[in-house]
């Protein structure tokens, strides 16, 4: 099982990006998923989280500017980020609680990260 994050890049302040995170492998079920980010010299922080039922929560720093969503049929999660600011610059990681087929418990998986740089 692996998570792959896509969609990062260089964008000007005020711009937008859509990140995607695709889970693949022998997946039975995916629980909550989330986006985290880590800027240079800072700790990794939660950006947004979504449950399997679609309930969401956001960090105050992105609330109102970002929307997290998921397509359970495709095992894919998205993060639409608008009105981007230089302080949004970070490596963005996706995370998910995944149960492999034939197992009982969920395990925590992380994607490889995708760089988002907001700069003029």
Residue 118: per-residue pLDDT: 98
| Gap between the Cα atoms of 28 and 22, Å rounded | 15
So what's the pLDDT on residue 11?
Answer: 98
* Whole-number Å distance between alpha carbons of 8 and 94: 12
Residue 37: the pLDDT is 98
Place of tokens 């740089």: 117
Q: What's the pLDDT at 99?
A: 95
Q: Averaged in consecutive runs of 10 residues, what is the pLDDT profile of the chain (120 residues)? A: 96 98 96 97 97 96 97 96 98 97 94 96
Predicted local distance difference test score (pLDDT) of residue 20: 98
Distance CA(102)–CA(75), nearest Å, equals 18
- The pLDDT, as a whole number, for residue 8 is 96
Give counts: helices (H), strands (E), the chain: 0, 11
Instruction: Label residue 104 left, alpha or beta by phi (over 0 means left) and psi (-120 to 50 means alpha).
Output: alpha
State how far the Cα of 84 lies from the Cα of 86, in Å rounded to an integer.
7
């Amino acid at each position: 099982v692996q998570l792959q994050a896509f969609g990062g890049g260089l964008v000007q302040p005020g711009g937008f990006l859509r990140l995607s995170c695709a889970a693949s492998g022998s997946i039975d079920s995916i629980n909550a998923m989330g986006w985290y980010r880590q800027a240079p010299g800072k700790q990794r922080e939660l950006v947004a989280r979504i449950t399997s039922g679609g309930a969401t929560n956001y960090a105050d720093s992105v609330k109102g500017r970002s929307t997290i969503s998921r397509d359970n049929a495709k095992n894919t999660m998205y993060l639409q980020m608008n009105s981007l600011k230089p302080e949004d610059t970070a490596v963005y990681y996706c995370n998910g609680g995944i149960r492999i087929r034939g197992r009982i418990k969920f395990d925590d998986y992380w994607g490889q990260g995708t760089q988002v740089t907001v700069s003029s």
